[in-house]
């Protein structure tokens, strides 16, 4: 019997998740069907319930529904509760819906795969939205020396840092207060989608530093181009995308797929 999964979003036609999970299923021999569903902006809960009624076993959730997905869950993982957002829905045997977030795990696993050491590093994270909120706990769990969150609205960054201060040395403020050098700078803003660059100082990167953009594309983002011109090693977010998908697949099927061949195939297809 083939089990049904999907990704919910709005819009969703651009999603690479069906191709990723099809590759995972082929690799592991798991019998699943994975589709993309554009949920109505005003009835995400109804879309999930209809999917379950039609035999759905679980789903990924992308913008703009991650916070709403969190609210509909009967149970939440500790990391999803901390993040206040869910990107993975799991239908339990008793019919209850459990929510988890795998974005942070996807980011940390990609950094490790790329040889980036977080322990003892000076880390700057740009942005204070849901994307950043979902990755702070896993980043802090790796033991950085410092982690600073910078955002256009300074108060939002400070409030976010306060929510995670029990987990490690995290601080927050505005872009105008950013002063390097940093060993790792992660762009979690949506500026790359519009070809814009957050206002950043020239002396941002330490020698041998890494710049990571959660966005990806066939060409480097404006942030990665800017960082590369200043001597940083640059990594885009495609590996994070595949990594978080692998973590979701593991939550559903109990099998952890090999990310590398799927990532290589996606990269060639960009």
Of 182, 228, 235, the closest CA to residue 209 belongs to 182
Q: Was 130 annotated as part of a binding site?
A: yes
Q: What does DSSP assign to residue 21?
A: H
Distance CA 172, CA 175 (A): 10
Of 267, 139, 129, the closest CA to residue 212 belongs to 139
Q: Was 127 annotated as part of a binding site?
A: yes
165 is catalytic: no
Distance CA 55, CA 32 (A): 12
Q: Was 216 annotated as part of a binding site?
A: yes
Q: Was 214 annotated as part of a binding site?
A: yes
Q: Was 87 annotated as part of a binding site?
A: yes
Q: Was 151 annotated as part of a binding site?
A: yes
| Contact of 189 with 126, CB cutoff 8 Å | yes
Q: Was 143 annotated as part of a binding site?
A: no
Q: Which one of the listed residues 21, 57, 66, 98 is annotated catalytic?
A: 66
Q: Was 168 annotated as part of a binding site?
A: no
Distance CA 90, CA 97 (A): 6
Is 152 in a helix, a strand, or coil? Answer: coil
Q: Was 268 annotated as part of a binding site?
A: no
Q: Was 103 annotated as part of a binding site?
A: yes
Q: Was 38 annotated as part of a binding site?
A: no
Q: Was 60 annotated as part of a binding site?
A: no
Contacts of 17 (CB under 8 A, 6+ apart): 7, 34, 36, 60, 62, 245
What's the chain's Rg over C-alpha atoms?
Answer: 18
Of 60, 53, 56, the closest CA to residue 3 belongs to 56
Residue set of the binding site:
15-17, 62, 87, 103, 127-131, 151-156, 214, 216, 237, 244
Residue set of the binding site for shikimate:
15-17, 62, 87, 103, 216, 244
So which residues are the catalytic ones?
A: 66
Residue set of the binding site for NADP(+):
127-131, 151-156, 214, 237
């Amino acid at each position: 019997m083939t089990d049904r999964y999907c990704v919910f979003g709005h819009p969703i036609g651009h999603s690479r998740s069906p191709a990723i999970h099809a590759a995972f299923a082929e690799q592991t021999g798991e019998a699943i069907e994975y589709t993309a569903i554009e949920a109505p902006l005003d009835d995400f809960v109804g879309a999930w319930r209809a999917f379950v009624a039609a035999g759905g076993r679980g789903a990924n959730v992308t913008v703009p529904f991650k916070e709403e997905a969190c609210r509909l869950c009967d149970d939440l993982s500790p990391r999803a509760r901390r993040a206040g957002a869910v990107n993975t829905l799991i239908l339990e045997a008793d019919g209850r819906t459990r929510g988890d977030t795998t974005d942070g795990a996807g980011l940390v696993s990609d950094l490790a795969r790329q040889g980036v050491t977080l322990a003892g590093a000076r880390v700057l994270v740009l942005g204070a939205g849901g994307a950043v909120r979902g990755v702070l706990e896993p980043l802090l769990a790796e033991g950085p020396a410092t982690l600073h969150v910078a955002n256009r609205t300074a108060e939002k960054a400070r409030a976010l840092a306060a929510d995670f201060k029990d987990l490690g040395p995290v601080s927050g403020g505005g872009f105008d207060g950013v002063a390097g050098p940093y060993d790792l700078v992660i762009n979690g803003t949506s500026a790359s989608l519009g070809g814009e660059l957050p206002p950043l100082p020239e002396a941002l990167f330490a020698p041998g530093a890494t710049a990571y953009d959660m966005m990806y594309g066939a060409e480097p983002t404006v942030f990665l181009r800017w960082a590369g011109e200043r001597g940083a090693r640059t990594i885009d977010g495609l590996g994070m995308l595949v990594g978080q998908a692998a973590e979701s697949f593991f939550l559903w099927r109990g099998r952890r797929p090999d990310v590398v061949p799927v990532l290589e195939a996606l990269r060639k297809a960009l």
